[in-house]
Amino acid sequence: MENGAARTAPAVIVAIDGPSGTGKSSTSKAVASQLGLSYLDTGAQYRAITWWMVNNGIDLTDPTAIADSAGKAEIVSGTDPANPTISVDGVDVAGPIRTQEVTSKVSAVSAVPEVRARITELQRSLAAEAEHGIVVEGRDIGTTVLPDADLKIFLTASPEARAARRSGELKGADVQATREALLKRDAADSSRKTSPLAKADDAVEVDTSDLTLQQVIECVVTLVGEKRAAK
């Protein structure tokens, strides 16, 4: 659908969840662009708060210290799918939040209930402000952040496919080590007490292991079209 046509369609809220490397960001950004919707990468928000805590010397082995500083950083997300942005206290952190250090620490920070409450509030207000609708991707969007979303998708892929994708991105990183790191983060994200990574009962599960990115995008665009037609 052209963007002009999308503007006349009813606003739609799409939640896309799933483990790391299943294609959430790539799919969500493309679907939002194609349909004229806003786009929110919630993982970037958890990474941003983790980056702030690392930079401010917070002891990340101490959940109380994490909880005490959960409200201190000002996190701002730009929701244009053509130019998604993320800043902390006015500093563009799009690059720094992707370091190995932040990646290895984000699960510990995002497991703390006070952090989740703060970030969930931000996510809900961004979704409420999105005039034409929004695609929000993460781990708990369909189950917790936006339980009334019009469409919920849960993307999966085999650990092998996900590791191969990520190793390609990291230019020759060891596939086995990448696979272990992905599985370790998934285990931590799935086993935390507060809003763990989980498929909502009413989510559509899409296994992307043997699909091209384009096929996944087309599948989600079709599902959004069906939901809109039924509205």
Ligand X SMILES: Nc1ncnc2c1ncn2[C@@H]1O[C@H](COP(=O)(O)OP(=O)(O)OP(=O)(O)O)[C@@H](O)[C@H]1O
Ligand Y SMILES: Nc1ccn([C@H]2C[C@H](O)[C@@H](COP(=O)(O)O)O2)c(=O)n1
**According to the binding rule CB under 6 A, does residue 216 interact with ligand X?**
yes
User: CB of residue 66 vs ligand Y: minimum separation in angstroms?
Assistant: 13
- 23 has binding-site annotation: yes
Q: Which stretch binds ligand Y (CB under 6 A): 30-38, 53-61, 69-77, 134-142?
A: 134-142
- Can residue 25 be called a binding residue for ligand X (CB under 6 A)? yes
Q: Cβ(217)–Cβ(34) under 8 Å?
A: yes
d(CA 182, CA 184): 5
- Helix-strand-coil split of the chain, %, nearest 5: 50, 15, 30
DSSP character for 58?
Answer: -
Q: Which stretch binds ligand Y (CB under 6 A): 62-70, 104-112, 149-157, 214-222?
A: 104-112
Rounded to 10 degrees, the C-alpha dihedral 108/84/138/23 comes to -110
Please say which residue, 9 or 217, places its beta carbon nearer to ligand X: 217
Q: Which residues have C-beta within 8 Å of that of residue 47, sequence separation ≥ 6?
A: 86, 93, 97, 98, 102, 103, 106
Binding flag, residue 43, ligand Y (CB under 6 A):
yes
The residue within the footprint of ligand X, chosen from 6, 9, 17, 21 (CB under 6 A), is: 21
Could you tell me the sign of the dihedral formed by the alpha carbons of 219, 224, 225, 231, in that order?
A: positive
Check binding of 143 to ligand Y (CB under 6 A).
no
Q: Which residues are annotated as a binding site for ATP?
A: 18-26
Which residues of this protein are in contact with ligand Y, per CB under 6 A? 20, 42-43, 46-47, 106-107, 110, 138-141, 185, 189
